[in-house]
Amino acid sequence: MPDWLAALLITLLKGVLVALALLTTFAYMTLIERRLLARMQIRHGPNRVGPGGLLQPLADAVKSIFKEDLRVTMADKLVYTMAPIVAIGMALTAFGGIPAGPPGSLFGEDPWVYNLDAGILALLALTSMGVYGIFLGGWASGSKYPILGGLRSSAQMISYELGMGLSILGLLMLVGSTAFVNIVEWQAQSGWMLLFQSLGFALFLVSSFAEVNRTPFDLPEAEQELVAGYLTEYSAIKWALFQMAEYVNMITASAIMATLFFGGYRGPVFLEGLIPGISGWPIIWLVVKIAFFLFLFIWVRATLPRFRYDQLMRFGWKLLLPLALANTMMTAAYLAFARGLGLWPLALLSLLGLLALFAMSDRVRVLWNRPTGRPHTDDALPTRPLGGD
């Protein structure tokens, strides 16, 4: 077998394995999410199919495959069919670029499906294509609520993409490379990026939630207002494909956060004393970190109510974007003037910024500041609506 054919086959094999793993994770994520939500809301959740409800995903899969695939009269047939495929395709493709271990650590192969030089940029590009699935699905359904959901989602995702891209600029300047492996190895040398870019991480976390349309940013499918948003006219397997795309996007977002800010595929070094080489094991550390973030996604869903649309936009454009810019400027200033001092001043500055944010948030401010109603005089300055950002 020639070399290129072997390389091609191995890449194909890795791609198929990653896709299978992601889809299995999706199936069980739905169960885990329902069980965890139930636990957080003091009820039982699905526990009848199989021991502890473990076969529930299987039953759901069988149901959605054999359910009748509805044809919508007003739909644009081609786009209507393509939209879920685009959504899941982009979601699965994006995950393949994330390294799950050091080069050559997976039985002598590289533990990633493809490796573009542009690394994180390429991944952001792919995830930004995911909006087409939702957007076109909403439009192609040919009815009112889906198109409203689609319009909302495109406005939301474009807005938060900016904050997302800007919030990692500081990180990229520190590392000096956009390739994932370089970012992870930099962190292995200097410590987790979370320490030095805590403000950037907070901004990235929030924008990630918005990018994957999870609560509190699930406005595209706000069921109280839009029935189910872009999903309204979809049923059976097409509906399931959209769900898959959402969960796979969640997994990808978790993996990106783990890789950029939490040391990626590297485990904690202090375990090296017990088992030598453990921090270099492929896959396992990334999976642990992804699981943590997935739990966070579910936890937030059980905790926070949905944003109102104007709050969403105000938050994205007036808070997230300027703060991300400020973070970039701060890191740039540090790199230009104070590089010789070591990394701790940057860590301190980021932490201070984050604490200031917490102190100024509406949840904390009311502790010492009585909430004010809107004054009735006409010439008073407008106050913000209570609650919200």
What are the residues binding another protein (CB under 8 A)?
A: 76, 79, 116-119, 121-122, 124-126, 128-129, 131-132, 135-136, 139, 147, 150-152, 154-155, 157-159, 161, 165, 176-179, 182, 309-310, 313-314, 317-318, 378-379, 381-382
Q: Which is nearer to another protein, 26 or 307 (CB)?
A: 307
Smallest separation (angstroms) from another protein to the CB of 305 = 19
Closest CB to another protein among residues 242, 293: 242
Joined tokens for residue 132: 């087409």
Closest separation between CB of residue 188 and another protein, Å? 17
Q: At its nearest, how many Å lie between another protein and the CB of residue 317? A: 6
Kindly tell me which of 110 and 161 has the beta carbon lying closer to another protein.
Answer: 161
Under DSSP, the state recorded for 104 is T
Q: Which residues contact 212 (CB under 8 A, 6 or more apart)?
A: 246, 249, 250, 253, 297
Shortest approach of another protein to residue 116 CB, angstroms?
Answer: 5
Task: Select from 293, 159, 158, 151 the least CA-distant residue to 222.
Answer: 151
Closer by beta carbon to another protein, 113 or else 122: 122
User: Using DSSP, how many helices (H) and how many strands (E) does the chain show?
Assistant: 16, 0
**Rounded CA gap, 65 and 97, in Å?**
29
Nearer to another protein, 230 or 234 (CB): 230
Q: How far is the CB of 314 from another protein (least distance, A)?
A: 7
Q: How far is the CB of 381 from another protein (least distance, A)?
A: 7
User: Hunting for tokens 């009311």 — which residue is that?
Assistant: 366
109 close to 263: Cβ distance less than 8 angstroms: no
Helix pair 198-211, 321-337: axis angle to 10 deg? 150
Of residues 200 and 316, the one with the C-beta less far from another protein: 316
Please, what is the minimum distance in Å from the beta carbon of residue 286 to another protein?
19
The residue behind tokens 């994932």 is 180
The gap from C-alpha 96 to its chain's centroid, in whole angstroms, comes to 15
Candidates 136, 109, 98, 115; CA nearest to 18 is 98
Q: Is 213 exposed, middle or buried (0-12, 13-18, 19+ CB in 10 A)?
A: buried
C-alpha torsion 153→155→160→166, nearest 10: 140
Tell me the backbone φ, ψ of residue 356, rounded to 5 degrees.
-60, -40
- Measured between its terminal Cα atoms, the distance across the chain in Å is 60
Angle at CA 375, nearest 5°, toward 369 and 377?
150
- Quick one: 204 or 293, whose CB is closer to another protein? 204
- In whole angstroms, the minimum distance from the beta carbon of 132 to another protein comes to 7
> Closest distance between another protein and the C-beta of residue 248, in Å?
18
Between residues 126 and 260, which has the closer beta carbon with respect to another protein? 126
Give 136 or 253: the residue with its C-beta nearer to another protein.
Answer: 136
Residues ≥6 apart with Cβ < 8 Å to 162: 316, 321, 324
Contact 50, 217 (CB under 8 A): no
